[in-house]
A and B are shown apart, each in its own frame.
Chain A
Amino acid sequence: MHPVLTIFLKEIRDGRRDRRAVMSALIFPIMGPGLVYMMMTAMIQMRSQAFETTIPVTGMEHAPALVQWLREHNVRLEAFSGDARAAVRNKKQKLVLIIPDDYQKRYGKTQTAVLELVHDGSRTDSQAVVSRIRSLIRRYSSQIAGLRLILRGVSPEVMQVVDIQDIDIASRQQRAATALNFIPMYIMLAAFVSGMGLAVDASAGERERKSLEPLLINPVDRLFIVIGKWLAASVFSSVGMILTALLCITAMLHVPLEELGLTFSITPLQVALIIAGTFPLAFLATSMQLLVGIFAKSFKDAQSYLGLLMLVPVVPAMLTLLYPVAAKTWMFAVPILGQQLLLVDVIGAKAIPAAAYFLSAASCLLAGFALVVITARLFGRESIVTS
């Protein structure tokens, strides 16, 4: 049996029995998509609630025309009396619309009538309905204003100096991809989380339990030792990552995104491409963790450094979010950034050149291997062995 295989099998066996390693490989993939699913569904529900919520109104009798108009636009209204501010503050009502006593008088004199919309800006669940009412009332206002101008023989267009017509060239699928930007980031984070337990145990753990010295006494090339550990950690990392990808996709297929005007559909080919595109990242993530781990003297020590390492996959995701650029071929050759771009494009159903897959995989695997070689050098360092 080749020593790489011996080490690999031992680490896999050890890792499977390590509750800490298994947990870190599984909890993240399972919990994340579940949470995201719940959050997205709640968000969508809030939006649809904006259309269902009955609006409490004080002084409905002062503005029958407005009330009538709102009802025609499918807003349910009910009379409200009492202290509107207190009712909102006590969370009895999400909002209260107050029509003042002088509404009719000011309306008649063509003065601006001021309506009060009482709401709590710190409550996220009322924002959607508040903005719906606000925009409806603005529409009503400009409609009446237009009529007033026509009565005076003026075209309502004088009020509208410029207008904007939106021409959004993004497909619904692409818009969905932007909204779902967190998925690539999440999948990439999974690569870093899932293999971490094993990688740390195989590096810092060896030092902590003082098993590194006996291991290195065996006539085995240190590079083989590190490669075996690297491959084992990468298996954990890839499994966690693929699981995360599949669960994220499943969750998204079940979120009623149509209600946001977005479409999310995915073909088995796309799923295969996502997995093929991202799994090389597992090898880079674990090689980084092994390198950091060998510097650390204990598990705890390693974990505090590795917390920082978790920022690595987040950076390109943030960058592409803040500075969206058209992906150029060279960008795929940058490890981590390449995977990020690849994922966004696959999910957005954009065509990707085959070279991009090759470049991103090759760069990740090469960088990973380079770190493994460095780790192997350090593994034999006298100061690491004897401390």
Chain B
Amino acid sequence: MIEVESLKKSFDDVVAVSDVSFAAQNGRVTGLLGPNGAGKSTTLRILYGLLQPDAGSAHIDGIDVHKNPQQAQHHLGVLPDNHGLYGRLTAREHIHYFGRLQGVAADDLETRTNQLIERLDMKSIADRRAEGFSQGERMKVCLARALVHNPPNLILDEPTNGLDVMTTRTVRDLIAELRGENVTVLFSSHMMYEVSKLCDHIVIISEGIVVANGTTDEIRAAAGEENLEDAFVKLVEKVIA
């Protein structure tokens, strides 16, 4: 369960997020939709404790992120905007490293790692160094290391950006599976198709404020458009104008 209330954040004079509130429920997939520069990444970074909000609050499973950031981070798996790998470590070593940092016990770590390697279809790359990995392979490692501690909440910042069809499908399947395991999934995207297909709940932000919040049907109804994309454009333009 992820709750965000009246978040506000500016960098110097630029307001990145001016008023964002929403909630992502357990066992549901919530999509954070918005054009580039709408404040998606900033909102997510506040959620995983990397940025301090100027005002407002964020809670992960009821834990205030800014009062207890480390406790909140235990409840979170994150695929951040910057997701670099260590070129000289293997996929398995990446998963181990992050598992240890999350405090996963040694016995569980081995089992968890093998499960994730199986689940994300990474057997062939598990013991290869990351330097030669393709975009899709890199993404799998990032997902595995985000999930190694079995987090009840998962935040993904543009998870399918720049991926090929096969890996995109893997990511989508994974998101669907995790929903079945009662995980709270929150992901950002600017791709309408993906959001409409995957999400139970959509939050549209533009210019740092929430312009629509609800199910696909609710958003279409609010904009008075049949097509979700048209609804999105209409809602976003209303703010910019």
Contact A211:B85 (CB < 8 A) given known A217-B49, A382-B52: yes
**Cα A3 to Cα B100 with chains together (Å):** 7
Contact A219:B102 (CB < 8 A) given known A17-B88, A18-B88, A386-B50: yes
Residues B50 and A219 in contact, CB atoms below 8 Å apart: no
Which chain A positions have C-beta within 8 A of B142? 214
Residues B73 and A1 in contact, CB atoms below 8 Å apart: no
Contact A6:B100 (CB < 8 A) given known A213-B83, A216-B50, A217-B48: yes
**Cα A23 to Cα B101 with chains together (Å):** 29
Selected contact of A217 from candidates B50, B89, B103, CB within 8 Å: B50
Q: Which of B50, B74, B102 has the most CB of A within 10 A?
A: B50
Which chain B positions have C-beta within 8 A of A386? 45, 50-51
Contacting A at CB under 8 A, from B76-111, are 76, 78, 80-89, 93, 97-98, 100-103, 106
Which chain B positions have C-beta within 8 A of A17? 88, 129
Contact A217:B84 (CB < 8 A) given known A10-B89, A13-B93: no
Residues A211 and B84 in contact, CB atoms below 8 Å apart: yes
Query: Interface 1/0s, chain A 368-385, versus B by CB < 8 A?
Result: 000000000000001001
Residues B50 and A210 in contact, CB atoms below 8 Å apart: no
Q: Which of A10, A18, A211, A214 has the most CB of B within 10 A?
A: A214
Interface size counted on chain A using CB atoms at 8 A: 26
Q: Tell me, yes or no, whether A114 is within 8 Å of chain B by CB.
A: no
Interface size counted on chain B using CB atoms at 8 A: 35
Residues B100 and A1 in contact, CB atoms below 8 Å apart: yes
Which chain B positions have C-beta within 8 A of A10? 86, 89, 93, 97
Q: Tell me, yes or no, whether B70 is within 8 Å of chain A by CB.
A: yes
Contacting A at CB under 8 A, from B99-139, are 100-103, 106, 129
Contacting B at CB under 8 A, from A65-111, are none
**Cα A14 to Cα B52 with chains together (Å):** 31
Residues B80 and A214 in contact, CB atoms below 8 Å apart: yes
**Cα A98 to Cα B75 with chains together (Å):** 93
Q: Tell me, yes or no, whether B71 is within 8 Å of chain A by CB.
A: yes
Selected contact of B89 from candidates A3, A13, A215, CB within 8 Å: A13
Residues A218 and B73 in contact, CB atoms below 8 Å apart: yes
Residues B76 and A6 in contact, CB atoms below 8 Å apart: no
- Nearest A residue to B71, CB-CB: A219
Q: Tell me, yes or no, whether A220 is within 8 Å of chain B by CB.
A: yes
Which chain B positions have C-beta within 8 A of A214? 78, 80, 82-84, 98, 142, 145
Contacting B at CB under 8 A, from A236-254, are none
- Nearest A residue to B129, CB-CB: A17
Residues A3 and B88 in contact, CB atoms below 8 Å apart: no
Residues B98 and A218 in contact, CB atoms below 8 Å apart: yes
15 A-B residue pairings within 8 Å (CB atoms): A10-B89, A10-B97, A13-B89, A14-B88, A17-B129, A18-B88, A209-B86, A212-B84, A213-B80, A214-B142, A216-B50, A217-B76, A218-B73, A218-B101, A382-B11
- 16 extra A-B contacts, CB within 8 A, seeds A1-B106, A6-B100, A13-B93: A1-B100, A3-B100, A7-B101, A10-B93, A14-B89, A17-B129, A209-B84, A209-B87, A211-B85, A211-B86, A213-B81, A214-B78, A219-B103, A220-B101, A382-B50, A386-B51
